[in-house]
Amino acid sequence: MIEPMFMTYYVAMGLAVGFLAGLVGVGGGGMTVPIFTMLFTMQGLASEDTVQLALGTSMAGMVFTTFGSMRAHYKNNNVETKLAVKLTFGVFIGTFLATFTASYVQGVYLALFFSAFMLYVAYKMFQKQEHYHNPEPHGPIGNIISGSGIGSISALVSVSGAGLTIPYLMHQNIEAKRAIGTSAAIGFPVAFSGTLGYLINGWDNTNLHSLVIGYIYLPAVILFAISSYFSTALGARYATNMPANRLKKIIGILSVALSIHMLISVI
């Protein structure tokens, strides 16, 4: 039975991450993985596969935050629907296959890869964006291949891929706010496919007494998902009226903080 203190933690996480997910078009995995890792360690859950459990639980929670974020950005007309559909084909395949790799890699290496990825995201967000027109944007095949790469990396660090998708979309001549909205739409298939993969690949880790199925801890997913769903729309509403450069800086600052947090937890 989960203690009331941890229930409070998961609800608070959901409210905060849901708002940020809607604000900057991410699924929240970058924020939840380090926190889930810490909380699962405190609870004594899956001591040998804590990082994998955090990755899988984050992916399952992102199904709800990304759906809410996708829905909100679509209602605000911030999604390039045709391009999102093309990328989704590659994203779904890449994400699912990468979960097989994650299930066999030691947690410490996954944590280090997560930290390095978040620093890369911060670098891209603080990098000055040159405003130019790309005369040769990718066609359908290029979009599918790029989506597969985005999905693979996203599964290994349990993120919606916004840190990769947003720069890619801007390079495809999509302006920043619509790139953020489209990234939010692509985050949903990333989360769905990743959840399925972590469920299948972690099946031997299932412990019904602890409410763990595969690499997913059910109480955390349910509490996080319910609370985050309601705060995502609020974040998306604020994003519509916020300058794109400020949104990028918010992503960058969060990425640095989360990278440092995960490195400290590994050390």
Please compute the mean of the pLDDT values over residues 258-265 and round it to a whole number. Answer: 70
Residue that wins the pLDDT comparison between 65 and 59: 59
Region class of 173: left (phi > 0), else alpha (psi between -120 and 50), else beta: left
Band (pLDDT 50/70/90 cuts) for residue 48 is confident
Instruction: Tell me: pLDDT of 55 over 70.
Output: yes
Amino acid at 118: M
Residue among 174, 176, 198 at smallest CA distance from 251: 176
Output the six-digit token pair for 144.
């599918």
Return d(Cα 179, Cα 79) in angstroms, integer: 7
Sorted by where each begins, the domain ranges of the chain are 4-266
User: 20 in helix, strand or coil?
Assistant: helix
Return d(Cα 124, Cα 146) in angstroms, integer: 17
Band (pLDDT 50/70/90 cuts) for residue 12 is very high
Measure Cα distances from 96 to 65, 127, 156, 157 in Å: 19, 30, 10, 13
Residue that wins the pLDDT comparison between 236 and 13: 13
Please compute the mean of the pLDDT values over residues 177-182 and round it to a whole number. Answer: 84
Region class of 28: left (phi > 0), else alpha (psi between -120 and 50), else beta: left
Most confident of 116-120, 208-212, 231-235: 208-212
| For the chain, percent of residues with pLDDT exceeding 90 | 11
The alpha carbon torsion through 66, 200, 52, 250 (nearest 10 deg) reads -10
Output the six-digit token pair for 38.
């810490």
Measure Cα distances from 128 to 4, 121, 131, 136, 236 in Å: 45, 13, 9, 21, 24
Instruction: Tell me: pLDDT of 131 over 70.
Output: no
